[in-house]
Amino acid sequence: MTVVVVEAAGARSRAGLWRWARNPSAVVGGTLVGLVVLTALVSLVWTPYPPLAVDPSHTLARPSWAHLFGTDEYGRDVLSRVMAGSRISLYAGVVSVLVATAVGVPAGLLAAERGGIPAQVVLRLSDILYAFPALLAAITLSAALGASTTTAMLAIGIAFIPVFVRVTRSNALVVLGSDYVLAARAYGRRPLAILRRHVLPNIATTVIAQMSLLFSLAILAEAGLDYLGLGTTPPTASWGNMIETGQTYLSQDPLLSVWPGIAIFVAVLGFTLLGEGIAELRNARLGRSA
Amino acid sequence: MISYLARRVAIVLVSLFGASVVVFAVLGILPGSPAQVILGTQATPQAVRQLSAQLGTNKPLWVQYLHWAHGLLLGQLGRSYVSQQPIGPQIARALTVTGPLVLFALVIGALVALPLGLGAALYNGKVSGTFLGALSQVGIAVPTFVGGILLIIVFAVALPVFPSSGFPGWSQPGQALRSLVLPAITLGLVEGAILSRYVRASVLDQLHSDYLRTARSKGLSRAQALWHHGMRNAMVPLVTVLGLELAALIVGAIIVENVFSLPGVGQLLLNAVDNRDLLVVQDIVILVAAVVLVINLLVDLSYHLLDPRVRDEGQR
Amino acid sequence: MTLLSVRDLTVSAPGGLALVDGVSLDIEKGERVGLIGESGSGKSLTALAVMGLLGEELKATGHVFFGNEDLFAASERRRCQLRGDAISMIFQEPMMALNPTMRVGKQVGETLRIHRGLGRRAAARAAVDLLGRVELPDPQRCAMMYPHELSGGQRQRVMMAIAISCDPDVVLADEPTTALDVTVQRRVLELLDRLVAEEHCALLLITHDLAVVSEMCDRVVTMYGGRVVEVGPAARMLTSPAHPYTEALLETSLAVSVDAPSDGVLPAIAGSVPAAGAFPTGCPFRDRCPRRTEACEVTPPLAGDGTHAVACWWPIAQPVAGTSTR
């Protein structure tokens, strides 16, 4: 009996892996995300040159074997700076998405479970936040607190809260309206227990897919803020501020802005595809067409 | 319908009030008074006090808020702390750049999104459909400022067809339009790529609907059925997206104006942030928020014109 | 004369799983054929394949002859000409099947505009007439309404008006009353009965309500597991069925009181319909059949005289080996 159960579980996880392997969005997205994460990890212990090391004799050098991506206006190695920049982007993505999830999901659950006035309050507050697109929120906040990576992450996180409130609430409402929740209520289960046992597991995949999509938007927004000079400020290497300085030297070395641009592209594409892949796999499991 | 409209407008007003409080509060927590910022650290405390009284920034915050809000309602945006110029005309002048840019980009975005999304949906599951889908995916992942810089590299540096930055003013309409071309394409391409995803999803929904099958059972071809039965239904979600896009374009314009050094609202806002010209920041942020809220309202109302089911719910 | 002839129709899902497996059936001119079986037996897919409206992911092989013309070999253009004109279909869910954003009159008149070339005005007038023929109260007003403003029964009447608008030779009705309230099912069916009689058109009525079949149909086809398991005259099959599955369906419909919801669950049959692909090899019904023997592990052919055929090794008219010797 036990053997059968174990075998069944093994077969199921193998089938799950197989489904993953056959979903092109998940595969490509996962690979690109893996590449970015790996780069960030490697950059912690090794980069070809120190990202801040200035070399006045080799400024604005074209790509060569010594400097694969060339050097910038201070002679710093661009490849090393792109690698180091991945840390800022991932860090910003993680913090802002966590801020948004940590506030948005409980608020959405509250609005779904309580209804009435609490729901109205949550939804109105979320509407107010919704009027501030991420970039606008970030500009406001950095006007108040000054430009820094932290300001940028915080602002982006806050601006994403309404997305999680909406996604969580609408999905939770579906689960809460189902027969098995009704049955659980009839058996006298407490609301918190119902949320934990029935609602959370059911909305988890959707929330995770959303997190991945917003992760890509957070990377975009943070890079945008850095580009505008409202986020991570030089000399710390970030993809956004590298593009900004690169633009100044566009006629001398157009590639200077292109390398970090490619890096952003890879990271954003990776997280978008991964999110879509997760959503597609979820829909396939529920028997819906994508 | 009237009561529904009234309720929606009331919600927008409440949200706008909330948004104004948030903006004011966030900018109000700034250390150092505006007078101090204007006069610099060398100023005597007496001079700072005097200027504070003149600006009204020595009053309690709630009084300052009421003063600001009152002015907004009357259409008086106040004077810049830094330049002492009235803010309203500055924003109006900037809008003559940002407005055309956004509209131009909206048209380009729609021209990109509709064929791309429609194609991706109609050829779904085939190689061409996957290719079109991938194309829009790629477009989404290119940040506006990177796209803009790439366009500058190609069309301003390598082939000097369009100016890479600056705006000559509308006194030279030809030159002015020319300098808006690259920024509008940048903005429109990126937003069009995002929009095309929604067009695709929306058309796919229609293609799989039962009533489209009914239409086909009447003898309409696939294209006819989609055109006569699918389009109006596909429009409903698309209007939402178009509204969101417009909001995204307005925000995107802030970045694109910076890439191409266009003297629009975005640049005005960023200069104000740099100069700590708080009243200008406050005014622009609340105006953009108001525009976003109004766009959302219009999107909601457009449902009622497009979908008879929602229309009836609203009447109840 | 055979009007519609389905030969060896197989509908397969991506991956090759056969959802409809070698189905053959004929409909004579003006004949009414009942197609019965539980949900998941392939009835609707058969009808959709005849219409040529299967989803792109499903693949149909075999032949569907309309008169002498093989529809599967015909151009898409030709098929569009026939659809809604010579062959029309009534769908199960009128709420989903009608366009929510188009006025009812326009949806009814559309068929006439395509096939008869009527102008906007003429089509609108004809639509009002048709809505009157399907007994909608105040057809003038109904024509200006949207589907959600009508009741379920009224919507299905609209669907019928669309189906008969071009005097079709055959109407495929896919469980036309399943989605309706029990109280209106009867009247909608009576209307269908009358319309088909007036139009002299053939009818393929898909249902699992045998009482309806016995009243309305000349012949009955039983499907199970994507295959035809029995076909014969209605009078004979519904009094002395040969296939154990037809018998079970019959017992169920007798056991279920008239006003019980017909949701496709058949308490008289052991077990339930397996998921597609989970049917046993050999006779698809053997897991649930009280008369099964080892012989049933081989697929039984559909065999019989010219009018009544059954795919069963142990049809009910004959004693089952092993039980009779006792």
Q: How far apart are CA C83 and CA C98, in angstroms?
A: 17
Strand partners, C172: C89, C204
Alpha carbon distance B26, B40 (integer Å) = 22
Indicate the residue of C80, C98, C100 with minimum beta-carbon distance to B221.
Answer: C80
> Contact at 8 Å (CB) between C203 and C235?
no
Question: Does C114 touch chain B if contact means CB atoms closer than 8 Å?
Answer: yes
Please tell me which chains touch A, using 3 or more CB pairs under 8 Å as the contact test.
B
Distance of CA A124 to the CA centre of its chain: 25
Does B85 touch chain C if contact means CB atoms closer than 8 Å? Answer: no
Of C51, C56, C57, the CB nearest to B217: C51
Quick one: closest CA in B to A155, which residue?
B26
**Which residue ranges in chain A fall short of pLDDT 70?**
1-20, 284-290
- Cβ contact (<8 Å) for A144 and B29? yes
The C-alpha of C235 sits at a distance from chain B's nearest C-alpha, in angstroms, of 32
User: Which residues form the domain of C26?
Assistant: 2-101+146-310
Of C188, C114, C144, nearest to B217 by C-alpha is C114
* Cβ distance of A224 and B293 shorter than 8 Å: no
What pLDDT was estimated at residue A288? 45
How many angstroms separate the CA atoms of A93 and A99, rounded? Answer: 10
Size of interface B-C (CB pairs under 8 A): 75
**Is position C197 within any domain?**
yes
- Residue C117 lies inside a defined structural domain of this protein: no
Q: Which residues of B touch C109 (CB under 8 A)?
A: none
> Which of C93, C102, C162 is facing B210, going by the closest CB pair?
C93
- When scoring B21, B82, B145 by the number of chain A Cβ atoms within 10 A, the one with the most, hence best to mutate, is B145
Burial of A117 (0-12, 13-18, 19+ CB in 10 A): exposed
Q: How high is the pLDDT of residue C270? A: 65
- CA contacts within 13 A on the Cβ side of C108: 34
Q: pLDDT value at position C171?
A: 93
Rg value, chain A, Cα:
23
Closest Cα in chain B, distance from residue C13 (Å): 15
CA distance A48 to chain B (A): 25
Whether chain B has a CB inside 8 Å of the CB on C53: the answer is yes
Q: In terms of Cα–Cα distance, which of A104, C76, C204, A225 is closest to B224?
A: C76
CATH number of residue C164's parent domain: 3.40.50.300
Q: State the smallest CA–CA distance between residue A236 and chain B in angstroms.
A: 20
Check CB contact under 8 Å for B140 and A243. Answer: no
N residues, chain B: 316
DSSP state at residue A165: H
In C, minimum Cα distance to B207 occurs at C55
C196: nearest Cα among C133, C120, C252 = C133
Phi then psi for residue C172, to 5 deg, are: -100, 115
Sheet holding C59-66, edge to edge: C18-28, C2-12, C59-66, C69-70
Residue C323: pLDDT band (50, 70, 90) is very low
Position C190 pLDDT exceeds 80: yes
In this complex, do C97 and B214 lie within 8 Å of one another by their Cβ atoms? yes
Percent of chain C with pLDDT over 90: 25
Q: CB distance C101–B306 less than 8 Å? A: yes
Q: Please indicate, yes or no, if residue C59 is contained in any of the structural domains.
A: yes
Q: Kindly give, in sequence order, each residue whose CB lies less than 8 Å from that of residue B213, ignoring residues fewer than 6 positions away.
A: C53, C91, C97
CA distances from A253 to A243, A250, A259, B145, C91 (A): 12, 5, 11, 17, 65
pLDDT in tens, C141-170: 999 998 888 988 899 999 999 999 988 999
Q: What CA–CA distance (Å, rounded) separates B259 from A244? A: 9
Of B11, B264, B261, the closest CA to residue B156 belongs to B261
Does pLDDT of C235 surpass 90? no
pLDDT, position A289:
39
Does the residue C315 lie in any domain? Answer: no
* pLDDT at residue A226 in the model: 86
Put simply, the answer to whether A124 touches B18 (Cβ < 8 Å) is: yes
Tell me whether C110 touches chain B (CB under 8 Å): yes
Mean pLDDT by runs of 10 across the 316 residues of chain B is 79 85 78 67 76 73 81 79 80 88 90 85 78 81 86 83 79 83 90 84 83 88 83 73 79 88 89 84 88 83 72 51
Chains in contact with C, where contact requires at least 3 CB pairs less than 8 Å apart: B
Determine the average pLDDT of the residues in C255-261: 50
Among B187, B168, B251, B261, which residue's Cα sits nearest to residue A247? B261
- Which amino acid, A287? G
Chain B, nearest residue to A242 by Cα: B146
Q: What is the pLDDT of residue B30?
A: 65
Q: Are B94 and B263 in contact (CB under 8 A)?
A: yes
Pair of tokens at residue B12 = 């927008």
Dihedral of CA atoms A14, A16, A19, A21 in degrees, nearest 10, equals -60
Strands C69-70 and C59-66, bridge-based pairing: antiparallel
User: Over the Cα atoms of chain C, what is R_g?
Assistant: 20
Counting the structural domains of chain C, the total is 1
d(CA A56, CA A278): 48
For residues A237 and A226, is the Cβ–Cβ distance under 8 A? no
Cross-chain Cβ contact C99/B308 below 8 Å: no
Chain A environment of B18 (Cβ under 8 Å): 124-125, 128
**Nearest one of C67, C45, C70, C47 to C58, comparing CA atoms:** C45
Residues 6 or more apart from C69 whose CB is under 8 A from it? C78
Name the one residue in this structure whose structure tokens are 């409402």. A173
Give the CATH class of A24-47+67-289. mainly alpha
- pTM for the model stands at 0.75
Residue A265 with chain B: CB contacts under 8 Å:
138, 141-143, 146
Asked if C242 and C302 touch (Cβ cutoff 8 Å), the reply is no
Contact yes or no for C53 and B307 at CB 8 A: no
Cβ burial of A64 (10 Å; 0-12, 13-18, 19+) is exposed
CB C202 within 8 A of CB C171: yes
Please count the CA atoms within 13 angstroms of the CA of A197 that sit on its side-chain side: 11
Per-residue model confidence (pLDDT) at position C9 = 92
| Chain B contact for C14 (CB, 8 A cutoff) | no
Size of interface A-B (CB pairs under 8 A): 131
Calculate helix-pair angle for A78-114, A239-248, nearest 10 degrees. 130
What is the spatial distance between Cα B143 and Cα A247, in angstroms, rounded to a whole number?
A: 14
**C81 CA: distance to closest CA in chain B (Å):** 6
Please check whether residue C127 lies inside any domain of the structure.
no
Partner residue opposite B30 with nearest CB, options A144, A240, A261: A144
Is this prediction's ipTM beyond 0.85? no
Chain A residues within 8 Å of chain B (Cβ atoms): 124-125, 127-128, 130-133, 135-136, 139-144, 216, 220, 223-224, 227-230, 240, 243, 246-247, 250-251, 254, 257-258, 261, 264-266, 268-269, 272-273, 289
C148 with B307: Cβ contact below 8 A: no
Residue B295 has which token pair?
A: 């766009």
CA distances from A44 to A30, A47, A105, A259, C242 (A): 21, 8, 32, 20, 78
Instruction: Write the pLDDT tens digit of every residue in A21-32.
Output: 777 788 888 888
Amino acid at C190: E
Q: Are C205 and C17 in contact (CB under 8 A)?
A: no
Residue from B11, B149, B255 to probe the interface with A (highest A Cβ count within 10 Å): B149
Position C108 in a domain: no
Tell me C79's DSSP state.
H
Residues 284-313 of B with CB under 8 A from C: 306-309, 312
Q: What average pLDDT does the structure give for chain C?
A: 84
A94 beta partners: none
C305 in contact with B, Cβ within 8 Å: no
Interface contact B316, partner C, CB < 8 A? no
pLDDT of C266 above 60: no
Question: Mind spelling out the 3-state secondary structure of chain B?
Answer: CHHHHHHHHHHHHHHHHHHHHHHHHHHHCCCCCHHHHHHCCCCCHHHHHHHHHHHCCCCCHHHHHHHHHHHHHCCCCCECCCCCCEHHHHHHHHHHHHHHHHHHHHHHHHHHHHHHHHHHHHCCCCHHHHHHHHHHHHHHHCCHHHHHHHHHHHHHHHCCCCCCCCCCCCCCHHHHHHHHHHHHHHHHHHHHHHHHHHHHHHHHHHHCCHHHHHHHHCCCCHHHHHHHHHHHHHHHHHHHHHHHHHHHHHHHHHHHHHHCCCCCHHHHHHHHHHCCCHHHHHHHHHHHHHHHHHHHHHHHHHHHHHCHHHHHHHHC
Contacting residues of A for B210, CB less than 8 Å apart: none
Q: Higher pLDDT residue, C261 or A100?
A: A100
- Is C49 an 8 Å CB contact of chain B? no
Measuring CA to CA, which residue among C253, C259, C246, C254 is closest to residue C308? Answer: C246
User: Letter for the amino acid at C284?
Assistant: P
Interface of C with B in 124-183 (CB under 8 A): 146, 148-149, 159, 162
Q: Is B80 on the interface with C (CB under 8 A)?
A: no
Residue C281 lies in a domain: yes
pLDDT interval class at C256 (50, 70, 90):
low
- Nearest CB among B15, B27, B208 relative to A140 is that of B27
| Shortest CA distance from B32: residue in chain A | A144
Looking at the complex, report in whole angstroms how far the Cα of residue A138 sits from the nearest Cα belonging to chain B. Answer: 11
- pLDDT score recorded for residue B315: 44
